[in-house]
Amino acid sequence: MVKFPYSFRRGQKEALKFIKGVGGNLCIDAPTGFGKTPVILSAFLNKIHPIIWAVRTGNEADRPVEELKAINEITDESFFGFSFRGKRDMCLAARERDIADTESVAYFCQKNRNKCQYYINLSNYRIKPFEPLLYSDIIQLSAEAEICPYYLQRELLQYADLVALSYNYIIHPGMSWVIKSIIPFRECYLVVDEAHNLRLIGNINSDYITLNTFKNAIKELEELGKEVSGRE
C-alpha cells in the first residue's frame, strides 16, 4: 500500500481501511466525486502484484494512469503504468494508409508485421519505462522513435504496476491471452471500473444487433442527411 496522496475527503479514510481489511472480492459503491480511484490505487499499489484496471471502453483507460502520475508526484513513489489500447488505435502504419476499422487493421498487421519498419525498429529500441504513460504519450513516444506503439505496449507489460484496458482484454478469450501471457491473472489485482456495465458483457463482440441499435443508426443517418443537405 502507498501513502494516500491527498487530504482525505469525507468517507475516503473509512473506505481505504475497509478495502485493506477485505481479503477477497469486494464491490464498492460510492457517488461520483467521492474519489474512488486514488483510494483503490492507494490500497492496492505495490511492486509485486500488478493492478489490472478494466474499463468499459479504451477511451476511459487514461483516468487511473493520470491518477498514478499524481500519486508518484505527490508521494515520491516510482510506480509505472499505462493505458493499453488495441491495434486500431495504435497502428501507425494503418493510420498512414487511412485504414481505420478494427478488423481491417488487424488483418493489415497480420499480413505486414514482419516487414513493417515500426515493428523492425522496435527490436532495436531500448525500453526504459520511467513514468506512467497515457495513450497519447505512447503514440507520441513511438512516432518520435519510429517504433510500433502496439507492440511497445506488449513489451511494457512486464514492467507495469498498473495496466488500464477495456473489459475485452479480460473476458474475451481471443484477446485476454495478450495480457495474461505476460501478467498471469492469478498474480494481479483486478479492478472493474463501473462494474454495473458488466451486465452488457453479453453484447461485447457479439453478432447480435438490437432493434434500438438500428433505430439509433437510422436516426444518425437522418441527422447526417439533414446536415449534408443544409450545406448544399
Q: Which three cell numbers mark 183?
A: 501478467
**Which of 88, 56, 51 lies closest to 67 in space, CA to CA?**
51
**79 touches 72 (CB < 8 A):** yes
d(CA 144, CA 115): 19
Q: Of residues 90-149, which lie at the interface with ligand SF4 (CB under 6 A)?
A: 91-94, 108-109, 112-113, 116, 118-119, 148
- Minimum CB–partner distance for residue 202 and ligand SF4 (Å): 29
Q: Minimum distance between the CB of residue 84 and ligand SF4, rounded to whole angstroms?
A: 13
CB of 216 to ligand SF4, least distance (A): 31
Does position 151 bind ligand SF4 by CB under 6 A? yes
| CA–CA dist 218, 214 (Å, integer) | 6
Among 80, 150, 167, 169, binds ligand SF4 (CB under 6 A): 150
Q: Is 151 exposed, middle or buried (0-12, 13-18, 19+ CB in 10 A)?
A: buried
Contacting residues for 152 by C-beta, under 8 A, at least 6 apart: 122, 125, 127, 138, 141, 142
Q: Which is nearer to ligand SF4, 94 or 179 (CB)?
A: 94
CA distances 129 to 89, 150, 158, 175, 229, Å, are 21, 15, 10, 24, 51
User: What character string, x for contact with ligand SF4 (CB under 6 A) and - otherwise, covers 154-193?
Assistant: ----------------------------------------
- Rounded least distance, CB 96 to ligand SF4, Å: 9
Q: Looking at beta carbons only, is 101 or 194 nearer to ligand SF4?
A: 101
Which residues would be at the binding site for ligand SF4 (CB under 6 A)?
87, 91-94, 108-109, 112-113, 116, 118-119, 148, 150-151
